[in-house]
Amino acid sequence: MKKPFIFLGVLLFLVAVGCPLTVSAATIEDQISTLKKQMEELQTKIQEMESQLNKAKTDAATAQQQTETVQKQMETKIAEVSSRNKVIDELAKKFSHLKFYGYVRSRYWFGNHQQSSFDVTEVAFNTRYEVSDNISGEFHLWFHPSGNAPSSEGYTNYNNWTGPTIFIEGAYAEFRKLNIGPIDGTLQVGKFRNFSLGIDCAWPDRVYSDYGLFHESMTQSRITGLQYFTKYGKFKANAAVFNGWGLSSGARFGARPAGIRYLKTNQENLDDNYDKAVSMRVAYLPINGLEVGFSGYRQELSDNDMTAFNQIMGRDPTTFGASAAGKPSKDRQSWRAGWDMEYKRDPFHFQSQYFFGEVSDVRATWWYVMGGIKFPRFKTDLYLKYSQALYDQSSIPDIRASGAWDKGELAPLIIYSIHPKAKLYFEYYILHINDPDGYKGHMQNNFGFIELVLHY
């Protein structure tokens, strides 16, 4: 019984061994074939990768070249910018001492006896250069477009109203810290405003756009010469030596077509004599906002001034015939003296000046009082000013002698601030002339305007 079982076991073992040997051979061939395919695919991928690597190397070389090119371009640009910045820095350093400023005045006119008109009244170009901490220079060039108006009737109402077409308003050098001990001192040389006679009507402290009766009669014109300012504590003292103010027989009071003559200073800053004009003002500031000043001035009138004076006052036989107003004057002396006061403390502003003196042989008095109040909430300032110019020459009823007629002026003003540098002026002048009995000409010569003043 054991042998059959042993035989059966051996047979089963052989079968078990023989079957696996046959399966393993087939599997190996398949695996070899698969490996060959994988090797071929791998070789293909290696070739692709080599190709990509070569391309990457080429791209990298190109990129490197481009990078070097861009870097060189950047270095060139940086050098150019650096050079330009250096020039700009040098210019900025040079021109940091230079300041440009000015304004444009544009208005709409209206009044008695004259046509209403739009006008670019004045364009100002001002330059200031700081030479050093203590030395500076200023140059003011003003252009009055209305000076180009035709000379025919109707256009002359506004022609050169504010001055010559091209006007060098100021050109001077200023030397600071020329002190006398503890007293601060500043010297101006050239052409400038006169701050040595009353309160001048210059920006930025100017209130009215037009000068008005008082300042046109007294100090509206500039002076050419020397001016020295001093200050010590609450005291100020200014003095000036200059060519005398000129007179012009062409000046008219109020609306020009009314033809009322006007004894006023003009824009001439030259004279034809050796005697120079002098003026001086001493002021005291007792409290914050209040300043009180006393001034004096004298000059010798030139030949041109004497001719103009006699024409204005109706004393020139060549223009007045029998010269009923009196004989032509030969007195060349002109002098003024008086006081001024100003109080500025928001919202109030008060200002007044009173002067008396002589122009040639005619005694005169000039004065005004002005008050104003500001309403910041409404960006509006309200002012009212009354002025007079009174002459002791006998008046006659002939307009050719109207320079001697006493004159008065009431001027209401509204200022609306669009911007701190842009303001609208609503300004009107109600004029009074004390004409002698018997005169039958036009006396109503009020005028006004709406003006935009734009500072820059």
Question: Taking the alpha carbons of 370, 373, 374, 380 in that order, is the dihedral positive or negative?
Answer: negative
Can you tell me the mean pLDDT for 416-420?
Answer: 96
Can you tell me the mean pLDDT for 241-257?
Answer: 84
User: Dihedrals φ, ψ of 47, to 5°?
Assistant: -65, -40
SS3 label, residue 36: helix
Task: Give the number of other CB atoms < 10 A from CB of residue 231.
Answer: 16
SS3 label, residue 344: strand
> What confidence score (pLDDT) does residue 190 get?
96
- The top-scoring range by mean pLDDT among 81-90, 370-379, 392-401 is 370-379
| pLDDT band (50, 70, 90) for residue 21 | very low
Distance CA 370, CA 78 (A): 62
Question: Which of the residue ranges 21-30, 370-379, 400-409, 410-419 would you say has the lowest mean pLDDT?
Answer: 21-30
Can you tell me the mean pLDDT for 444-453?
Answer: 91
Q: C-alpha 75: how far from its chain's center?
A: 43
Q: Which residues of 125-158 are buried (b: 16+ CB within 10 A; e: fewer)?
A: ebeeeeeeeeebebbbbbbbebbebeeeeeeebb
**What is the residue whose two structure tokens read 């006023």?**
264
Q: Can you name the residues that pair with 170 across neighbouring β-strands? A: 140
pLDDT at residue 199 above 90?
Answer: yes
Q: Which residue has the higher pLDDT, 28 or 305?
A: 305
Residues belonging to the chain? 456
Structure tokens at 234: 């609450």
Cβ(214)–Cβ(366) below 8 Å = yes
pLDDT at residue 359 above 80?
Answer: yes
DSSP H helices, 187-271, are: 212-218
67-100 pLDDT per residue, tens: 778 778 777 877 777 777 777 677 667 777 889 9
Q: Which residue has the higher pLDDT, 149 or 395?
A: 395
The model's pTM is 0.78
Please tell me the CATH code under which domain 97-455 is placed.
2.40.160.10
Average pLDDT, the chain: 84
Distance CA 405, CA 436 (A): 8
> What confidence score (pLDDT) does residue 367 get?
97
DSSP state of 77: H
CA distances from residue 247 to 133, 191, 215, 342, 403 in whole angstroms, order as listed: 39, 18, 14, 28, 12
Share of the chain above pLDDT 70, in %: 85
pLDDT at residue 322 above 50?
Answer: no
> What confidence score (pLDDT) does residue 48 get?
79
Question: Which of the residue ranges 152-156, 379-383, 441-445 would you say has the lowest mean pLDDT?
Answer: 152-156
Structure tokens at 45: 């991928």
Strand 135-143, strand 422-434: pairing: unpaired
Distance CA 415, CA 381 (A): 5
| pLDDT band (50, 70, 90) for residue 153 | low
CA distances from residue 68 to 55, 63, 79, 81 in whole angstroms, order as listed: 20, 8, 16, 20
End-to-end C-alpha distance for the chain, whole angstroms: 134
